[in-house]
Amino acid sequence: MINKDNIKICLIIAVVFILLSSPILWAQDAKFRGTVKDEQGNPMPKAKITLTLIARNLSFSFESNKKGKFYRRGIEPGEYMLTVEMEGFQPLKQQIYIKVGEEYMIDIIVAKKPSAVEAKNKFDQGVQFYQQGKFDEAIKAFEAVLNGKPDFAEGYFNSGMAYLRKGDIDTAIAKMEKAIELKPGFIEAYFGLGQAYINKGDEEQATKIYKKAVDINPNDAKIYVNLGSLYFSNKKDDLAMEALLKAKEFDPSLPHTYYQFGLLYLRKGEIEKSIENFEKFLELAPQAPEAERVEALVEDLKKKK
């Protein structure tokens, strides 16, 4: 027969154990506290805050109060992706690491989404910076546009071109691929992506990309010029000739078709045809960066005839 006094003792021991163990458990957890504000320092109520524990892909969300403040305890320690979302404001994402027993404190500043006019002005500013060779400033402008318009393919393309000109090829590739993901028929992005792989030394991958562009738009002369140039650099002259003839068929006014023809015929030893195509290039693009060099080459070829 069970003694009632023994039952009471067991219950008391259990309660004491729970009371003693609770502080130990809380000490293992962490706290997360902070405030959401706008760029002028005003508190932002009802901002949606999401913490995602990266190791386990476990997420939970809560909102800031009317004073923009938030507090959570019992947070599992680890590396988190912090996301803050609020209507009319640019979404914010950053990684944070919360330690065991830590009270992690953070002030979150959210920026308003630019209006359509502001976004266009910022984009135009980025284009101007790019044309001036100020690639860091161009990237900053394009990224500001993308913060408010994360589905803007042209923003990723232009940002990618700026990274490419800076020499950051891997980032350029990632930006071009995002542009193509958002806008699968974006031919200029294929050109940029192909050029990025050429700069990386992966001409095989560049060729595959240009061929994909051909599949999307088989009548685009510029694609065949790029493809012909790539075949020429790999000494695949028959394929280069085929691609350049296609380019000339679809658009006989493209200067660089004749520039590539000139190089190709020169390597084949057909000097007359080489001169003829170089002169056509100079007629169509007298201000091209290659023009001065081509003029000198034509004069030299004429002397050797």
Q: Give percent helix, percent strand, percent coil of the chain, each to the nearest 5.
A: 60, 20, 25
Of 110, 143, 171, which residue constitutes the final position of a domain?
110
Tell which residue, 50, 46, 81, 79, has the closest CA to residue 65.
46
Report whether pLDDT(196) > 70.
yes
pTM, rounded to two decimals? 0.62
Does residue 289 share a domain with residue 246? yes
* Of 59, 105, 52, nearest in space to 81 by CA: 52
Is there a contact between 143 and 178 (Cβ–Cβ < 8 Å)? Answer: no
Whether residues 104 and 131 share a domain: the answer is no
Rg (CA), the chain: 31
Condensed to tens digits (0 to 9), the pLDDT of residues 197-232 reads: 999 999 999 999 999 999 999 999 999 999 999 999
Q: What is the mean pLDDT of residues 125-149?
A: 92
> Is the domain of 193 the same as that of 233?
yes
Round to whole Å and give the CA distance between 64 and 82: 14
Tokens of 255: 């200067």
**Are the beta carbons of 112 and 38 closer than 8 angstroms?**
yes
Encode pLDDT of 260-301 as tens digits. Answer: 999 999 999 999 999 999 999 999 999 999 999 999 999 999
Q: Are 300 and 269 in contact (CB under 8 A)?
A: no
Tokens of 40: 């002028």
Rounded to whole angstroms, what are the CA distances from 105 to 36, 194, 236?
11, 45, 61
Residues 166 and 83 in one domain: no
End position of a domain, from candidates 110, 133, 151: 110
Query: Is 121 in the same domain as 230?
Result: yes
| Contact in structure between 164 and 199 (CB atoms under 8 Å) | yes
CA distance 259 to 278: 6
Distance of alpha carbon 196 from alpha carbon 163, whole angstroms = 10
Give the domain extent around 141. Answer: 116-304
Check whether residue 140 and residue 228 sit in a common domain: yes
φ/ψ (deg, to 5) at 36: -105, 125
pLDDT over 60 at 236, yes or no? yes
Total count of domains within the chain: 2
Task: Write the CATH number for 83.
Answer: 2.60.40.10
